């Protein structure tokens, strides 16, 4: 091969290498904008994912709060319902108890009436009334009705209604001296306060 042919071949190789270098440079320049676009898209996607995760966490927190509030409200409603049922059981007889108190008062008044207890007929009548009163008091006691207000007790405005105050020997201040009408409780609730006179 002659010198001229060798030079021609080397020149062709150099041109070919130059062309390849140019092609590589062009493809690198084109790849850079593509990489930047992909990088921007990736950053936007990551930012969007973070935003969605924050929204999801906030929604989950709201749902948890709502769930806790709903449970608390249900517990409160259940507790109130149980209390209402309990009160209904305890105080269902309140109206009936108030009405029967008049009968008890009348029987007590009948026993307080002065009479000749020496007479057998009168004594039998009094014994019958006394037994009836005891049975009636035992019956209402089984349903939670109990009397309040006795001579010598300390005056309690929640249980007693003072009609008057008077000085009385043998009694301290605020002690009940006279019970005009007994009071009654139904399962601890006053259904009628006792009418009393109190020592001054």
pLDDT in tens, the chain (200 residues): 565 566 566 556 556 655 665 565 555 455 455 567 778 888 888 888 898 889 989 999 999 999 999 999 999 999 999 988 888 877 788 888 889 999 999 999 988 887 777 788 888 888 999 999 999 999 999 999 999 988 989 999 999 999 999 888 888 888 999 999 999 999 889 999 999 999 98
pLDDT of residue 122: 84
pLDDT of residue 161: 92
Helices 120-142, 94-112: inter-axial angle, 10-degree rounding = 160
Residue corresponding to tokens 């149980």: 82
End-to-end CA distance of the chain: 149
pLDDT of residue 39: 80
Buried b (16+ CB within 10 A) or exposed e, 177-199: bebebbbbbbbeeebbbbbbbbb
pLDDT of residue 166: 87
Cβ proximity of 176 and 165 under 8 Å: no
pLDDT of residue 31: 47
Q: Render 111-169 in DSSP notation, one character per residue.
A: HHS---TTSHHHHHHHHHHHHHHHHHHHHHHHTTEEEE--TTPBP-TTTEEEEEEE--T
Q: How far apart are CA 74 and CA 78, in angstroms?
A: 6
pLDDT of residue 28: 46
């Amino acid at each position: 091969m002659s010198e001229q042919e060798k030079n021609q071949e080397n020149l062709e190789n150099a041109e070919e290498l130059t062309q390849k270098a140019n092609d590589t440079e062009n493809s690198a320049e084109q790849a850079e904008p593509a990489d930047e676009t992909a990088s921007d898209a990736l950053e936007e996607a990551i930012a969007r994912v973070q935003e969605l995760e924050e929204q999801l966490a906030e929604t989950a927190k709201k749902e948890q709060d709502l769930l806790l509030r709903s449970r608390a409200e249900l517990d409160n409603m259940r507790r109130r319902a149980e209390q209402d049922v309990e009160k209904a059981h305890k105080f269902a007889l309140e109206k009936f108890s108030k009405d029967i108190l008049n009968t008890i008062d009348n029987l007590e008044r009948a026993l307080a009436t002065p009479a000749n207890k020496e007479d057998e007929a009168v004594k039998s009548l009094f014994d019958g009334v006394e037994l009836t009163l005891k049975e009636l008091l035992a019956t209402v006691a089984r349903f939670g009705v109990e009397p309040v207000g006795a001579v010598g007790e300390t005056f309690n405005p929640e249980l007693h209604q003072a009609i008057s105050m008077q000085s009385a020997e043998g009694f301290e201040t605020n002690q009940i001296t006279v019970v005009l009408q007994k009071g009654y409780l139904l399962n601890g609730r006053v259904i009628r306060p006792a009418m009393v006179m109190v020592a001054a």
